[in-house]
Amino acid sequence: PLVHLPNSMLRVFPMKQDQLDDQINFFPLNNVSHRTEFVFSFLPLKGNRNDTFWGKRVTVLTEQTTPYYYQAEDEDSGMTIEFAPSAKSGIFEVDFKTTKDNYLRIGLNGGSGNVQSDNHHVITGVEDITGMKAYFYAETDQDLDQLIYQNNNDKKRLLARFNKAIKVKLKYGISYISVAQAKINLYTEIPNWDFNQIKQKAKHIWEQQLSQITLKGGTEAQKRTFYTSLYRTYERMVDINEYGQYYSAYDHQIHKSDKPFFVDNWIWDLYIAQEPLHTILNPKMQLEKINSYITMYKQSGWMPSFALATGDWPAMTGNHAASWFADSWAKGLRDFDVKTAYEGLKKNSVAGTLLPWRNGPPTAIDSFYNEKGYLYSTRPEERGSKDGVDMDKWWEGRGNEGVSITLENSVCDWAIAQLATPAGYPQDKPLFLKRAGWWKNVYNQEEGFVWPKDKAGNWIKPYNTKLLGREYVTENNSYTYNWTPKHDLKGLFQMMGGTKKAEAKLDQLYREDLSVPKFHFWLNQPDASGLVGQFVMGNEPSYHIPYLYNYTGSPWKTQKRIRMLLDTWFPDNVFGIPGDEDGGGTTSFVVFSMLGFFPVTPGIPEYSIGSPVFSEASIKLPSGKVFTVKALNNAKENVYIQSATLNGKPLLKPVFTHSDLLKGGVLQFKMGARPNKLWGAAI
C-alpha cells in the first residue's frame, strides 16, 4: 500500500517481494508511475558494516500501514522506521535505540546518476529515468559522522553513519526539474522537523477526502473494504506542477503554469469506473486532468494513452481517452477545449496506429482496418510478421489481438462520434458511428462468440474460445470479450439471437467450466483471476458484465451476482483484491457496487442499479447537495430489491441518470431475501 496524499506527486511504499514478504529491501523515495518506475532508494540499517551491508534488508517484526503514515519495527535490532508524506516531500523518523552502528543507506534505483553529500546534514541526488531525470534534496536533523560510498568513482550509493544520535530524522523533496526545485518543494511543505505535525496534517487530509462518502449499516469488515477501496482510487492521476512550473516529458520542456499538470493514468484500466467515480466526487479535478491530456496532445502531437510522468506509454488496446472525454462531456463537464480534444482523438483513430504498444503513424495493418472494418488475425503457424510489422517483439506476444483491437476501437469510435457535433465537426459523426459498428465484423454468429478472422475474411479455425487468449484478445478470452460492445447492447443481443438468448449466454458465463486443468488455463490466461465459471472478476473488461441483466429484463440476476462477487472476492484482508488492482481500476468497481450502482456505458450519463451493501450511503457532492442511497431491511441474505423510489416517487427501471444524482435526494430500496422478478423487468 502507498503512503501519500490524494492525487499527489510523492508516493512511497516499502519495497518487498509482495505484501506477505517480511523483509524490506528499501523505500523508493518516489513512485514515478504506478507499478512501472521508482526513483532512489532509502533504508535505515543497524549493525556491523561489511560487504553484505549494501544488500542488507530490514526484517519486519511489526508493521502499521495507513494512507498517511507508515511504521515498521526491525526484528533483529528493535529499530523503528516511520514515514509521513506531504505533496512533493516526505519525512522519515528513525529510532535506532542505541548510538552504535547506525546508518542510512541512500542511493539510486538502477538508473544512472549520483548521490552527493556536504558531509554534514545535506544529501542530494539525481537519477535518470525513462527520457527524463528525477532529483531529490534531503536534510537530516543530526550531523552525520561518516560518509561511505559503495564506489567512490560512480557515487551511486552511500552510507551515512550516525554514532552520536539515537533518533535521526530525514526530510526530503522530490523534483523533476532540479535539485534546487526539490529544495523549494521541501521547504514549502516541511519547513521544520515536527514529524507529528506532518503526520496529523496528512491524516486530516485523508479524513476529509474519505468522509465525502458516509456509511450506515453493513459490517465493520465491509466498511474496511469500502474505505480501503475508496482510498486506492486516489493513487492516480498525480499533479506534478511544482509551485508554478512543471517538467513535461511530452515536449521535454519546463513550463511556467499556475494550473495543475496531471500525469500517470492507465486509461484502459481507469476509464471504466475510476474516472466516472471521480467525475461525481471531484468534477473540478476531472477537468484539470482532461485539460492535462489536451496539453500533452498539444505538446507531443498525439493524444496520450497511458499518460505517464515519463511520457506516453501506448499500452493495451483502444483509444479510451475518447471514452473518458465523452463520458465527462455527457455528464456536464464542459470547461475544456472540446474542439482540440476531438481533433486529437480523431487523429489517434484515423491517422495513427491502433496497434497496442506502439505510437505514431499508421502501418499497413491499420490501413487494412480502415478499409475492411476489422483488424485481421493470423494463424499460429503464420506468426512472426504481419504486413511488415514484427509481431513477436510486441509485449507479451500480443501482436495478434485483432479481435479485441476491433472491439475496443468500436467502443472508442462511438465515443468520438458523441463529441463530433459539440466540437464543431458534425459531418464526421456518420463516419465514426459507422466505425462504431465494426465490432460486428468479428462476431461469429454461427458460433455465438467474438472470433478471429483472417485477411481473406475467413474465420480462423480451430479456435478455442476458452483457452486461446493473448493470441487474439487482450488478457482474457472470448467469453469475456463477447460483452465488450457496451455502446450497442441492443445490437449485441440481436447478434446473439435475441434478448433471452443473450441472457442465457450471461447465465452460462458464470457456469462454464475451464475444460482443462487450472494450471494449463492460467499458463495461457494469467490475468484471468477471480474466476466464477468463465467470468473474470480480477480484470477490467468484466466489470460491467454483471450489470447487463438490467438490460435483458432480469435485474434480480444482477443483484444476485453483484452481492456474491463482492462477498467472495473482496474481503477485508490481504487477499481482498482478486487480480491486478491497477491503481484504482478494480477498487472503483467495488466502491460503485457497494453503493448500489455502476456506470455501464461511457458516454451515456446513467447508472445501472445493483444491490447496495449498506443500509445507508451518502455522497456529499461538491455543489453542497447530498445524494443518499437507502436500503431498507438490508441484510446479508436480503440482496434482492423488492421496490424502489427516487425522491419519494416510484422507480420502476433499474437505472437512474447522472442528472438525478447531481440534484441530490434519496434513492431508496426495499430489500428482501427472495427476488422480485417483476421489478425493473420492463426493458
Count of alpha carbons within 13 Å of 246, Cβ hemisphere only? 22
pLDDT, average across residues 520-526: 85
What are the tens digits of pLDDT across the range 569-607? 999 999 999 998 888 999 999 999 999 999 999 999 999
Compute the C-alpha angle 405/411/417, nearest 5°.
125
pLDDT, average across residues 142-164: 95
Give the pLDDT band of residue 39 (cuts 50, 70, 90): very high
Give the pLDDT band of residue 516 (cuts 50, 70, 90): confident
Residues forming beta bridges with residue 43, ordered by sequence position: 105
Residue 362 C-alpha cell reads as 499508421
Looking at this protein, which amino acid is placed at residue 182?
Answer: A
Under 8 Å between Cβ of 491 and 437: yes
* pLDDT at residue 51, rounded to an integer: 84
- Does residue 381 have a pLDDT over 80? no
Under 8 Å between Cβ of 579 and 540: no
* pLDDT at residue 358, rounded to an integer: 87
Residue 147 C-alpha cell reads as 560518509
Distance from C-alpha of 210 to C-alpha of 66, rounded to nearest angstrom: 13
What are the tens digits of pLDDT across the range 405-414? 999 999 999 9
Mean pLDDT taken over the chain: 95
Q: How far is CA 34 from CA 75, 105, 282, 476, 614, in A?
A: 29, 24, 21, 22, 31
pTM of the model: 0.97
What are the tens digits of pLDDT across the range 420-449? 999 999 999 999 999 999 999 999 999 999
Under 8 Å between Cβ of 148 and 133: no
- Does residue 534 have a pLDDT over 60? yes
Higher pLDDT, 657 or 379: 657
Q: How many Å separate Cα 526 from the centre of its chain?
A: 18
Q: Exposed, middle or buried, 400 (CB in 10 Å: 0-12/13-18/19+)?
A: buried
C-beta atoms surrounding 360 within 10 Å:
11
Q: How far is CA 103 from CA 15, 54, 84, 95, in A?
A: 18, 11, 20, 11
Give SS3 for 169: strand
What are the tens digits of pLDDT across the range 191-238? 999 999 999 999 999 999 999 999 999 999 999 999 999 999 999 999
Give SS3 for 277: helix
What are the two backbone dihedrals, phi and then psi, of residue 582, each rounded to the nearest 5 degrees? 60, 40
- Does residue 395 have a pLDDT over 50? no
Cis peptide before 237 (omega within 30 of 0): yes
Fold of 3-206: Beta-galactosidase; Chain A, domain 5 (2.70.98)
Give the pLDDT band of residue 63 (cuts 50, 70, 90): very high
- Does residue 116 have a pLDDT over 90? yes
- Does residue 391 have a pLDDT over 70? no
* pLDDT at residue 399, rounded to an integer: 53
What are the two backbone dihedrals, phi and then psi, of residue 630, each rounded to the nearest 5 degrees? -115, 135
- Does residue 278 have a pLDDT over 50? yes
Residue 283 C-alpha cell reads as 468534477
CATH of 262-582, one of 1.20.1610.10, 1.25.40.10, 2.20.28.90, 1.10.10.920: 1.20.1610.10
* pLDDT at residue 535, rounded to an integer: 97
What residue spans of 447-488 are helical by DSSP H? Answer: 478-481
User: Is the torsion defined by CA of 578, 580, 582, 583 positive or negative?
Assistant: positive
Radius of gyration (Cα) for the chain, nearest Å? Answer: 26
- Does residue 397 have a pLDDT over 60? no
What are the tens digits of pLDDT across the range 290-316? 999 999 999 999 999 999 999 999 989
* pLDDT at residue 385, rounded to an integer: 64
Give SS3 for 58: strand
Name the pairing type of β-strands 626-632 and 665-672: parallel
Distance from C-alpha of 349 to C-alpha of 425, rounded to nearest angstrom: 15
* pLDDT at residue 394, rounded to an integer: 47
Higher pLDDT, 648 or 522: 648
Among 9-23, 103-117, 382-396, 457-471, which stretch is predicted with the lowest mean pLDDT? 382-396
Q: Where are the domains of the chain?
A: 3-206, 262-582
b/e per residue, 112-140, with b = 16+ CB within 10 A? ebbbebeeebebbbbbebeeebbbbbbbb
% pLDDT > 90, the chain: 89
Give the pLDDT band of residue 498 (cuts 50, 70, 90): very high
* pLDDT at residue 678, rounded to an integer: 98
Give the pLDDT band of residue 488 (cuts 50, 70, 90): very high
* pLDDT at residue 119, rounded to an integer: 80
* pLDDT at residue 604, rounded to an integer: 98
Distance from C-alpha of 582 to C-alpha of 593, rounded to nearest angstrom: 17
